[in-house]
């Protein structure tokens, strides 16, 4: 079985329309695409974003629309615990 079917694939695309810039230029807005994955029962979805800082939330939104449950990795859990402790120290 190919690795592609074992993964859930998300693509980020930036708009380039109306720019008179050289080749490598884009707007800070675009679309996040979730690819169809029959093995996981996912149909294609898309969510637009308006700034680069909205890419993360757009990815979360497109995954939620498709019913994908995201489990935090071991490193993500450790990071969240560390950030929580630091946040408590900063506020006290």
User: In the chain, where are the structural domains located?
Assistant: 3-91
pLDDT tens digits, 14-49 = 999 888 877 788 999 999 999 998 888 899 999 999
pLDDT for residue 11: 96
pLDDT for residue 91: 36
Q: What percent of the chain has pLDDT over 90?
A: 43
The DSSP annotation for 30-78 comes to EEEEE--BGGGTB--EEEEESSGGGHHHHHHHHHHHTTPPPPPPHHHHH
pLDDT tens digits, 52-69 = 999 999 999 999 999 998
pTM attached to this predicted model? 0.74
Q: How far is CA 22 from the centre of its chain?
A: 27
């Amino acid at each position: 079985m190919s690795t592609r079917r074992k993964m859930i694939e998300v693509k980020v695309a930036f708009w380039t329309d109306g720019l008179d810039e050289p080749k490598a230029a884009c707007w800070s807005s675009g679309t996040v695409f979730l690819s169809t994955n029959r093995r996981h029962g996912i149909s294609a979805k898309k969510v637009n974003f308006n700034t680069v800082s909205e890419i993360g939330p757009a990815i979360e939104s497109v995954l939620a629309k498709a019913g994908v449950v995201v489990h935090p990795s071991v490193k993500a859990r450790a990071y969240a615990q560390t950030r929580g402790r630091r946040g408590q120290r900063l506020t006290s």
